[in-house]
Amino acid sequence: MKTIVYIIIFLLVLVSQGNLLSQDEKYKGAIIKESNVPDYELPDLFTSFSGKKIISVKQWEKIRRPEILDFFAENLYGKVPVPPDAVKKSYKILSEDKNFMEGLSTRRIIQVTFSNSQGSLDMQMVTIVPNNADKPVPAIYLVHHGSVKGGGFNLTNGQAYGQVHAGVPLRQLILRGIGLVSSDIGELIGGDARAEEMSGGIFDLFYQQGQKITQDDEWGMMAIWAYGLSSGMDYLETQNEINTEQVALLGCSVSGKVALWAAAQDKRFGMVLSNTTGHGGDAIWRREFGETLDNMCEWLPRWLARNAQNYKGRVHEMPVDQHMLLASIAPRPVFISSGEYDYWADPRGAWISAYNAMPVYKLYGENVAFKSEKQPEVNEVIMKSAIGYNLRTGFHGTEQRDWENYMQFIEYHFMKIEPRSAHEIFYPEGKLIDHYPNMNSIKSILK
């Protein structure tokens, strides 16, 4: 018996070592030194593919922006395919708790159903909004793959300042007068998302008769998830508690890539909060720093459209780069957060992208408070700007200070109030408020 156990353990070790070796291969040869970044030239924002110079907002919106987004859709993220017949959406409230978090908020779980003659598919959403607000509130739409159904938006501990399992500092968010939304966009994809043949989930509603794989220019996983976010916005437009002109998409890592692509396509999203998103998100492809297009095509091929393979080894030939994606979101505010040591996501590439998106924001007359091309110092926060920015100490992921920046950015741009510290929220006017604060502390800013 012991011999069998030892053999099993030995085989498990071999398997784990094989996985580690494959992961080593994924990172092998990655550029993590600035001295190794190749020479490159960014495509000009204001020169169209045909060579026409763009000099006005009208030309940007009629000529340049559409061709940029079309290229991204056809060659990188993938287009939403045309289904055999229209996909309809319906909504059902599964639960409602009007006394959530000691009466501070109302939490609803909603089921979004997609259906056509091919079948149907459900996606769950959550909305958490302040109680007693006198008008619709701004909200963060957290890009999360599958945590609503799994209880990710339950409180971790009633004494823990309203923290939820998904990592949101909910009590502070609600006390600032900001709501929260999320949806299980991961439910849209069935089967093995890396397989050549993909079926189940949303594919079954969109595939034509006999189709087993996506067409070369059709959506990859990120575009599918972006479709899920826009579908969530469709639901928000049916309710009255959240101001649908003040919904800020917040995404980290691949979720941040999805947030940026969703907002670029769907102007209903009023803001994007991008956190350590890297290439395919807020970082410049041409730098080839950290994760590259080649790496993504090799290890995560279904994240992108199949056409992305055409630019494997040819990234400098693309007529677009990610500064153009950020510029396509203008004039809506964007906040870029990077971790100082998150080399895989290329923090410097994110800054270069943000800086080079600035001219389009200025074309719209928006203020971008960048003083020079030089990357800001670590932990310097650029807040009062149409493009916010922070390179913080640390690594990959969303940290508490990121949340503080995002909430303040929303206050400044959506609520038109001076950004407030956490201390001001929990100790208004320097006074200790009730351990379970009620809505009186925020009603003045909700009127």
* Gap between the Cα atoms of 303 and 313, Å rounded: 18
Residue 3: predicted pLDDT: 45
3-state helix, strand, coil in the chain (%, to 5): 40, 20, 40
The pLDDT value recorded for residue 444 is 45
Residue 198 has a pLDDT of: 81
> Two tokens at 258?
């999805």
What is the CATH code of the structural domain delimited by 58-446? 3.40.50.1820
Query: For residue 162, what pLDDT is reported?
Result: 66
Burial 178-188 (b: 16+ CB within 10 A, else e): bbbbbbbbbbb
Q: Which of 170, 172, 138, 139 is closest to 152 using CA atoms?
A: 170
Contacts of 166 (CB under 8 A, 6+ apart): 142, 144, 147, 152, 153, 182
**What type of residue is 443?**
K
Q: If we measure between CA atoms, which residue out of 322, 274, 283 comes closest to residue 37?
A: 283
Full pLDDT tens readout for the chain, 447 residues: 544 444 343 334 334 344 444 556 877 778 889 999 999 999 999 999 999 999 999 999 999 999 999 999 999 999 999 999 999 999 999 999 999 988 889 999 999 999 999 999 999 999 999 998 999 999 999 998 778 988 888 887 655 556 777 788 998 999 999 999 999 999 998 766 677 778 889 999 999 999 989 999 999 999 999 999 999 999 999 999 999 999 999 999 999 999 999 999 999 999 999 999 999 999 999 999 999 999 999 998 899 999 999 999 999 999 999 999 999 999 999 999 999 999 999 999 999 999 999 999 999 999 999 999 999 999 999 999 999 999 999 898 888 899 999 999 999 999 999 999 888 888 887 666 554 444 444 444 444
Q: Please report the pLDDT score of residue 161 as a whole number.
A: 54
Q: CA angle 202-292-373, nearest 5°? A: 115
Model confidence, pTM: 0.90
